[in-house]
Every structure is written in structure tokens, then in C-alpha cells.
Amino acid sequence: MILIELFLTFFKIGLFTFGGGYAMIPLIQEEMVAHGWLTIDQFVDIVAVSQMTPGAVAINNATFVGYKVAGFFGTAMSTFGLIAPSLIIITIVAKLLDKFSNHPLVEGAWQGIRPAVVGLIMVAVISIGKEVIIGIDGIIIGIIALVLLAKVKLHPIGVIVISGILGVLFTYI
């Protein structure tokens, strides 16, 4: 029964989110905490680890939660549940794209979906930021990371390494 629940939960996440892993974060967070599979602290840790490991954030999260809840088969069901809607939808879209891509309804739908994806990402930033950025040290590290990414154009791996070093320094100084 838990395997079916994992599959259906991640299928729903995969079906109702557009814009990739970061846009999925609010729904993943809500579902994981609501089912009692993760605490908010565990979820934040998984998002951080998912960003540092190869693969998509949502897939890494599904893999971790599936394993935590039901071992290897939980991993398989969660991960397949997450990617199944995309596989189904992209197969259908590929068949219909040439025929309907210039239709006004399709163009209008994309005009609405794109800003919604930005909103979903912003909600993820705010909700995770509330949990992670605690105290002046967190604010300073967050601002430094933002500047390094946006202005200096430093590679994200470099920003993660520098942020980790700053975290250690702030903790022990």
C-alpha cells in the first residue's frame, strides 16, 4: 500500500507542476510534510543535498524520500511516479506540437504558465529562506551567495564551497 501511495503522491507532483524541480519544491514540501515522510528541517536538508548532487532536485528528492519510506522499491515507485506524467505528456505533445503550436489558445496558455512558474519558484525561495536564513550570519551568507551568482557570475559549485567555508567560519569564530 505504501508503494502505491508513494507512486500516486509523486505522480501528482509531476502532473501538477511546470517549470522543473525548483517550481516543484512548494508542492513537494507540502506533500512530504503532510504525509509525515519528512520534517521541514529534513526537507530543507534534502533540497540542499539535492542541489549538490548530480541530477534534478525533484528526482533526487523523490529518490531519497522513496528510499527513506520504503527502501529500494520505494525509490523506484517515487522516482517513476514523478517522471511518468512528463513521459506521458511529452509523448502526446510531441505528436500534436506541429499541428497546434501556433494556435492562439496554446500560445495564450503558455503566456499564463510562464509567469506562474516564476511565482512558484519565488514561493519556494521564501518558504525555504524562512527556515534556512536564521540570524545575521545566514543573511550575510545569502547576500554574498546572491552577489557571487548574479554579479560575479561565479559557478554555483564555487558559491556552494565558499558558502560552506563561510558557514564554518561563522560557526567557529
Which pLDDT tens digit goes with each residue over 80-139?
999 999 899 888 888 887 777 788 888 898 899 889 988 988 888 888 888 788 889 999
| Greatest distance between any 2 Cα atoms in the chain | 63
pLDDT the model gives residue 19: 65
Do 68 and 108 lie in a common domain?
Answer: yes
Alpha carbon dihedral 139, 141, 142, 145, in 10-degree steps, equals 160
Residues 16 and 87 reside in one and the same domain: yes
**What is the pLDDT, as a whole number, of residue 94?**
81
What are 76's three cell numbers? 523506484
pLDDT of residue 21: 67
pLDDT for position 9? 95
Domains in the chain: how many in total? Answer: 2
**Same-domain check for residues 44 and 113:** yes
Say which residue, 57 or 4, is predicted with more confidence. Answer: 4
Same domain, 117 and 157: no
Q: What is the pLDDT of residue 137?
A: 92
- Condensed to tens digits (0 to 9), the pLDDT of residues 152-165 reads 999 988 999 999 99
80 shares its domain with 150: no
One-letter amino acid for residue 110 of the chain: W
The answer to whether residues 114 and 171 belong to one domain is no
pLDDT band at 145 (very low <50, low <70, confident <90, very high): very high
Q: Is the predicted pLDDT of residue 151 greater than 80, yes or no? A: yes
78 and 29 within one domain? yes
Residue 148 pLDDT exceeds 80: yes
Which domain, by its residues, includes 72? 2-132
The region, left, alpha or beta by phi > 0 then psi within -120 to 50, assigned to residue 155 is beta
Res 112: pLDDT? 92
**Domain identity same for 27 and 83:** yes
Cβ atoms of 121 and 19 within 8 Å: the answer is yes
The answer to whether residues 6 and 37 belong to one domain is yes
State yes or no: pLDDT of 74 exceeds 90.
yes
Query: Are residues 45 and 110 both part of a single domain?
Result: yes
Residue 84: the pLDDT is 95
User: In this structure, are 48 and 127 located in the same domain?
Assistant: yes
List, for residues 10-44, the tens digit of each pLDDT value: 999 988 876 666 777 888 888 989 999 988 888 88
Regarding whether 40 and 24 lie in a shared domain, the answer is yes
